[in-house]
Amino acid sequence: MKYAILGPQKGINRISDTEPKSVGELATVAEITDEQAAQVEAGRTATPRVLYFLIDGALKTMAEKMAAAQAARLAERATTMTPAEKIALGEQAVEAAGLTGTRLVTLMDLLLQTKEANALASKPKLVALYTWLQTVKHMAIAGSVAFPPAPHTFEEVVSE
C-alpha cells in the first residue's frame, strides 16, 4: 500500500511509501495499491509523459479524464438537441475515424465485391468495420451522442 498526494483536481502530484504527516492546503492524501503506484511512476518516465488522476479509486489518464468530461457535457447538451443534430454527431464520429465519403464508397465497393465472391469470412476487418458503421448509424438515429471507437482503420481494412 502506498499513498498518493492529490491536487485539487485529483491529479497525482506525488507518491509516498508512508502516510504524509502534512500536505499543502489544497492537497489531499489517498491510499493506492502498489500496482497503481507503479503505473503512475511508469507514466512519469514515459515519453510522452502520462499524467494520472485518481477518480473514485481508479487511475485515469489526462486524456481519459478529458474524454469523460467531454462526454458529460455532450450528454447534457443532448437533452436539447434535435434528431438531426444527433445524427450529425454520428457522422462526425465516422469522419473522425478517417472515413470520408470517398473512403466509405471504397469500403462499400470492397464489401460488395467480397460478398459477391462469397468471401466475407476472409475479410474479418472489413466486416467488423461495416458492423461498426451500422452500429454508429443506429445509435445516432436512436439519439445517442457517444459512439464506440472504430475497430480498424481504413488502411488496415484495405490491406487485409
Contact predicate 107/99, CB 8 Å: yes
What pLDDT is attached to residue 74? 81
pLDDT in tens, 83-138: 888 888 889 999 999 999 999 999 999 999 999 999 999 999 999 999 999 999 99
For residue 53, the surrounding DSSP H or E stretch is strand 52-55
What pLDDT is attached to residue 89? 86
Is 22's pLDDT higher than 90?
no
Count of alpha carbons within 13 angstroms of residue 58, beta-carbon side:
6
pLDDT in tens, 40-93: 999 999 999 999 999 999 999 998 999 888 888 888 888 888 888 888 888 999
Is 155's pLDDT higher than 90?
yes
Q: Where are the domains of the chain?
A: 2-66, 81-158
Residue 8 CB neighbours (<10 A): 10
What pLDDT is attached to residue 142? 87
Task: Answer whether 0.85 is exceeded by the pTM.
Answer: no
Nearest-angstrom CA–CA distance, 28 and 37? 16
